[in-house]
A and B are shown apart, each in its own frame.
Chain A
Amino acid sequence: MKKKFLILSFALGLLVSSCEKMVEVEPKNQISDKSALSTIVGYESLLNSVYSRLIAFNYYGRDFILLGDVMADNIYTELTYANGRYIGQNSNQVNSHYNIWTTAYAAINDANIIIQTIDASADNSPAALAKKPQIKAEALALRAMLYFDLARVYGYEPTNITTAGGGFDKSVPLRLKATLGLPDAEQTPRATVAQVYKSIEDDLRASIALFSSGATASTLRMNKGAAYGLLGKLYVYSGRWAEAVTELDNAMSTANTAARLAGAGQYVAAFKALPNPESLFELSINAATQLGGVTGSNESLYTYTHPNGYNGISTFGGQTVSDELRALFTTGDDRLGMIFQFGGSSAAPTPLFNWADKYSAARGAYADNPKVMRFADLLLLKAEALAGQTQYASAATVVTQLRAARNATGVTVPTDINVVNFIQQERRRELFFEGHRWFDLKRLAGGITKPAKTGVGTIVATDFKLLAPIPNAEQLLGIQKNPGY
């Protein structure tokens, strides 16, 4: 009887716990969505994911910084040394283009989750409540930036839909709702440029309202000044000049950002500082873990823009300063100091090439922070917005202010309509190798005159290759492709 009892109790012991519970295992390497966002730390980490996606090589980590110059007229890709890198993009071959779709939408989903769920988050400790507005503000502004980048890569701008675009007004799918489950993952068609620009504007306005003061905010994260700056830029792209001036002034106001224009003689040094004192927003890359060894030598900004063996660092450098860009500078211009001459892999043999030293590995091999938004960019956008309202003299004053800070004297900035072209030339001199040139040429719809050495000639403003191809996998799932592809 005792033994019978023994067996029965053993059996019962096994049956006690309920069946559903019995077959549950909690993962540890990953965690379930329920627990991941149960605390404010989860949201902070999720927000970090957005930043870390931005530094992917196909985004701000490299392509977004260099392709704007490679596909336009600032870079000549020297085939012999480039090891295949950017050869197609430099000669503007079909399908050799930006490819930020996957990365950007993954980041948008991260941001969407934050924006959609953080207010209702269960963590209501005082510390959490204090952090929530800042996290949400960053997520909103980052989402705006992601959509702005997607919109200008895959679609036309409000100002050139009818001209360059021939009326094609499709932008990208607008997803403002988080993909929390499979039903949310349904395909979303492309929205119009107007809808996407409206959404970006709304996000930026909402984020600015939530941000605390930007005066001392870290420029390694999205901040109030950068949000104003992006809004200003959005208005410039939309031809809304007056609003642009207002917001760009807000962006550069000491109340909203810690960034300042560097003084004369400081241009080169500023790029070696961390962060660049002119950065309203720059991204931090960790040399040891994110650009260590092979990754750095194969993929980094430094490796693309420096000759092999320069300073003893091995590279696949082939992205050189085009002769046309080099010719734009006058002697004494600080920015000319950023360009050096060197052979393909050693100092001696001819031909020598012009190389740009904006990503100089000053903080260690291959390690350079990409600059997302710099003070000078905003200054010149403001000049453009003033000129757009025919306030040529005011525009010229702004440009002169910048040139003074660069020791670029000897040339008088025009105070008439000619200032419009001068501003674009100044943007080229100031912002080369920072990824702006392609977007400037594209939105102004004047066509692209490629460097002579590329042998490409001129790409007209209506060329279909001005828009990037929609990824094939998305086309297969019903996303409308861009005209011409």
Chain B
Amino acid sequence: MKKLLQSLFILLFVAASAMAQNRTITGTVTSKEDGLPLPGVSVKVKGSNVGVSTGANGKFSLSVPASATALEFSSLGFTPQTVSIGSSTSISVSLEADSKGLNEVVVTGYTSTTKKSLTGAVSSVSGEQIALLPVQSFDKALQGRAAGVQVTTNSGQPGSGITVRVRGIGTINGSADPLYVIDGVQVNPGGLSTGTTQNVLAALNPADIESIQVLKDAATASIYGSQAANGVVVVTTKKGKAGKTNLKLSVQQGVNEQINPYETLNSDQYYLLRREAVVNRALRLGNPVATALSNFHSASYGQTTKPDSFTTTDWYNELFRKANFGEYNLSVNGGNDKTKFFLSGNFNNTDGVVLMSEYKKGGLRSNIEHKISDKLSVESNLNIAYTRSSGPSTNAGFFVNTPFTGALFIPPYNTIYMPDGTYRNGANLRNAQNINIIQHTIEELKNTRSFQTVGSLALNYSLLKDLKLRAFAGMDFADAKNFSYRPSSIPAYAGIGGSGAENFIRNFNYNTSITANYSKTISDHNFSVLGGFEFRSNQQEQIGASAQGFPSPLFTLISSAATPTATTSTFTGFKIASLIGSVNYDYKGKYLLTGNLRYDGSSRFGSDYKFGLFGGVSAGWRISEEEFMKSVGFLSDLKLRGNFGVVGTQPTSDFGAIALYTSPGAAGAYNGAAAIRPSQIANPLLTWEQTQQVGLGLDFGFFNNRITGAVDVYQKKTTKLLLDRTLPINSGFTSVRENGGRLDGKGLDLELSTVNVDMKDGFKWTTTFNIAFFRNKLIELNNGAQRIGNSYIVGKPTNILYSFRYAGVNPADGRPMFYDVNNNITYVPLANTDDTIIGYANPNSFGGFSNNFSYKGLSLDVMFQYQYGNSTYLQTAQILEASGMSIENQVTSQLDRWTTPGQITSVPRAYDGYTEPGGYDPTNLSSRYIQKSSYIRLKQVTLSYRLPSKWASKAGLQGVNVFLQGLNLATITNYRGEDPENTGNNLNNFAQPKTISGGISIDL
């Protein structure tokens, strides 16, 4: 069939060109790298449509008109080559693998440019780099690959949301998420799920991605105006390529494993530590020790004396498993001059490492381009995905019924099951908050099923030779059904007969635009101008209900329950209308200038500031193109860039500016009649946060581009921060959101790529490295305020960790000590006096470092990713590192508690009930539980082998690639919690797993 198609193509072209006076040129195309023939290379006569593709053996035969002067050879992944024909009838070419480099296309939103003429600060990640990664959403794949883009994985639940920050944080109450634009569609990131956690960006299959660009500087991002203050992530999916149809199949299978950092006490250690705490308390309070011990034994062991022996159950390990995953991709790509297509299907089946956690996603994509006439063309991109995810709640906090806290804290002498095989519960389950966490995890049902589509349609029309019009409409639609159920078989829910909740969410988000693009070259002056109008609408609706009193655990839908308990229905939405304009100018490709303007009106802005103007200018000077630099031999490229822009962040509340009346619902009704009341005072002045950013960058290439890179420095100034102002309570309102204050930031991004070794025999070693430094400082708050609680203090960076300073343990008596405000020792630190800044959760620097070694078809990628200088609050440690002062199990470090006078240790003596008379609870938050959590992680190792095409072609295949890879293989850190990437509260943290996988990808 394939052969037949090929011949048909050839026939077609032969037929088309048979009319002129022709001669036939034959030849072979090979790869320069390994000398093997390249199939599917497009061979075209320059300046015409006459062309052919090379066969499986790399050979071609093409009948060319007499007027033909040269042949163009092009293939995906190779640098195109033009060879002049002369009088020869046989031409053989060896193509060089595409280094992309300066001609790489950079999509900057409504237009695109090349890396060579780019004037802003844009980080690019190519689809190839991430295609094989077993991540469920592409945003995760950005981690460590783009300088200045910080990616934090909050949860190990497959397909869960993650945090992306471009060039640090410049807001207090606004959103810090970048704007995501997928093939022109502005997509809202975030969760779709109330049951588990599901990332809307996961609907896009990472293998479908051609490239990701992160617009970091305000001048480039300003084309997105009031939505661009946190940067813009522009994603372009793969398009069809004219020529031979390519079929690509890839299969990957692997296993995920939980990384467990905790070594907890066994039952004997637990008993001794707890006994010591109880005895210490009795002695301190002057109570009889015998009574205290007998109370302790009856409460913890159900008998008045010490049990004869203990068993130890590791609940944490019982909860986790080695979880399999599989990822399957199929894509078809091809077309002719008129129609090109890229079709793909994918299926992902990933089990989470905790029991009951799973993720299944199936997706389809159809990207089609068609030329209706020479002037009119149409493009359509359509992506549909169905996702089903289930798993336990991963909300941070001390929820005793969630697995990651429940299984850690339960005293180990409890077994999971009774001798008769039923779950241990009730009076038999001791000191465990009455919760058998294994039973809860298995029997509580939580899942989200969602349908999502991101699709667009665009018409392009060449009105004049240089004037192109484009009409675009794109939508991002998602429907999610959330389900959660707590059966009456769990004792905690038996009293109410079990409870259940169902909840529907619908997101409907679309944007339409009409743009005109005019480009003109007059001698050495190149101009292009873009102007247009855009409209965006975003709506979210939710409807849900809950009920309790189910006839039996077999009935799970709320309709079968006896008592409906609550109903919810919400609506929210916003609209943005904008005029956009952009100008590009360059002189000889040497002096470059770009200007962007956007005039945004938003429903979120107050009536007095309904519209705002944003924009930026950036300029570049390609110094290496100057005559005087031509003599500098080692210099391949040098470009100085400067940019300045003003962008915005919209208020987070869709209706934050208008006066609102709310109904307090049933809880606020009076005598059966509904009530309404003013809930928000209008602030017609409410508007966007405004960020000014100025930056300077240098792109460089040395020694024939063996060393390339870019360094960028920038300063940000965010004013008109969204802040709350306290109102006189006697006005009937307590606060109003307004704009005020100022937050500054500055940073440096560095990207470096080197070709360390490039040997004749084909061995090549390349390195890429990136690092970003960022620091912000709160300059001013609204109304002259100096601080907001302990979180934001004028003159300090944001993300403060504020607490008491722990001073260790008094060697004489084992009591915990703290420093007071004068650096003296105190046993009872005073709030608002002795507490101070312990650290900041923002890192000083972060980035990635990767190496690629290749030899012939063999390739090894080793990537590290790191973060330096941030502190983290370890809430889990407040419970696990408590000297056995309460019932929860402890980590073994607590065995170092103080026991003997003169002993030097940092763990206070065991004292049941935490607080000694005249003392302070040492498990309250203090610097003891705040830690620098810098880390460097071996993020990814991929070993792949591309079978020689000789072998592949024998099997009738064009290419076969087998690979093995590992993720999160090793981490160097002092962090005592699960995952140093988690920068927030680590209670109930579902850490990222370690992943090992293998796979094969086949080009048919």
Contacts and interface: CB of A to CB of B under 8 A. Distances in A.
Given A27-B655, A30-B660, A32-B659, A188 B471 contact: no
Nearest to B376: A3
Contacts of B373: 3
Given A24-B575, A46-B675, A19 B601 contact: yes
B660 A49 contact: no
Contacts of A42: 661, 676
Interface stretch (A159-167, A282-290, A324-332, A383-391): A282-290
A23 B603 contact: yes
Contacts of A471: 729
B304 interface: no
A479 B734 CA distance: 15
Contact of B667 (A113, A289, A477, A479): A289
B459 A10 contact: yes
Interface string B591-611: 000000000011101000011
Given A22-B577, A45-B675, 8 more contacts: A4-B461, A10-B459, A25-B574, A33-B658, A108-B730, A181-B682, A185-B733, A188-B728
A46 B677 contact: yes
Interface string A457-476: 00000000000000101101
Nearest to B671: A284
B375 interface: yes
Interface stretch (A68-76, A171-179, A394-402): A171-179
9 contacts: A6-B459, A20-B601, A30-B680, A36-B661, A106-B733, A184-B731, A185-B727, A187-B728, A479-B730
- Which of B463, B576, B661, B672 has the most chain A CB atoms closer than 10 A to its own CB? B661
Interface string A243-280: 00000000000000000000000000000000000000
B533 A182 contact: no
B673 A10 contact: no
B732 A22 contact: no
B729 A101 contact: yes
B575 A286 contact: no
Contacts of B661: 30-33, 36-37, 42, 46
Contacts of B654: 25, 27
A155 to B, nearest CB: 14
B668 A52 contact: yes
Interface of B: 372-373, 375-376, 459, 461, 463, 469, 471, 512, 514, 533, 535, 569-577, 601-603, 605, 610-611, 654-655, 658-664, 666-683, 726-734, 736
A382 to B, nearest CB: 29
A30 B727 contact: no
Contacts, number: 201
Contact of A3 (B461, B572, B672): B461
B681 A179 contact: yes
A175 B573 contact: no
Contacts of A24: 575, 603
A64 to B, nearest CB: 17
Given A25-B603, A101-B730, A471-B729, A14 B662 contact: no
A218 to B, nearest CB: 8
A33 B459 contact: no
A179 B677 contact: no
Leading 7 A-B pairs by shortest Cβ distance = A109-B732, A36-B661, A48-B675, A49-B677, A28-B571, A289-B666, A33-B659
Nearest to A7: B461
A15 interface: yes
Contacts of B669: 48, 52, 286, 289
Contacts of A33: 658-661, 678, 682
Nearest to B538: A25
Contact of A172 (B575, B655, B730): B730
Given A27-B660, A36-B661, A179-B731, A15 B533 contact: yes
A468 B730 CA distance: 16
Contacts of A186: 728, 731
A348 interface: no
Given A10-B514, A22-B577, A49-B664, A109 B678 contact: yes
A59 interface: no
A18 to B, nearest CB: 10
B658 A32 contact: yes
B342 to A, nearest CB: 25
Contacts of A180: 659
Interface in A91-125: 101-102, 105-106, 108-110, 112-113
B676 A49 contact: yes
A102 to B, nearest CB: 5
A265 to B, nearest CB: 29
B728 A477 contact: yes
A10 to B, nearest CB: 5
B730 A175 contact: yes
A44 interface: yes
Contacts of A220: 671
A51 interface: yes
Contact of B681 (A23, A55, A185): A185
Nearest to A107: B732
Nearest to B460: A7
Given A25-B603, A33-B660, A49 B577 contact: no
B673 A45 contact: yes
A29 B605 CA distance: 19
Contacts of A188: 728, 730-731
Contacts of B461: 3-4, 7
A11 interface: yes
Contacts of B734: 102, 473
B460 to A, nearest CB: 9
B729 A110 contact: no
A182 B682 contact: yes
Given A29-B571, A29-B662, A109-B731, A4 B670 contact: no
A49 B681 contact: no
Contacts of A7: 459, 461, 469, 471
Contacts of A102: 729, 734
A432 B678 CA distance: 36
Nearest to B727: A185
B294 to A, nearest CB: 22
Given A11-B514, A22-B601, A42-B676, A30 B662 contact: yes
Contacts of B680: 30
Nearest to A45: B676
Nearest to B575: A23
A3 B512 contact: no
Contact of B729 (A19, A290, A473): A473
Contacts of A101: 729-730
Contacts of B514: 10-11, 14-15
A173 B605 CA distance: 33
- Which of A185, A221, A471 has the most chain B CB atoms closer than 10 A to its own CB? A185
A108 B732 contact: yes
A25 B575 contact: yes
- Which of B372, B514, B728, B730 has the most chain A CB atoms closer than 10 A to its own CB? B730
Contact of B728 (A10, A25, A479): A479
A52 B675 contact: yes
A179 B573 contact: no
A327 to B, nearest CB: 38
B372 A175 contact: no
B669 to A, nearest CB: 6
B770 to A, nearest CB: 39
- Which of A19, A25, A108 has the most chain B CB atoms closer than 10 A to its own CB? A25
A284 B672 CA distance: 9
A284 B671 CA distance: 6
Contact of B677 (A14, A105, A110): A110
Given A49-B677, A102-B734, A27 B671 contact: no
Nearest to B664: A52
B571 A46 contact: no
A140 B68 CA distance: 96
Contacts of B602: 23
B670 A52 contact: yes
Contacts of A44: 673
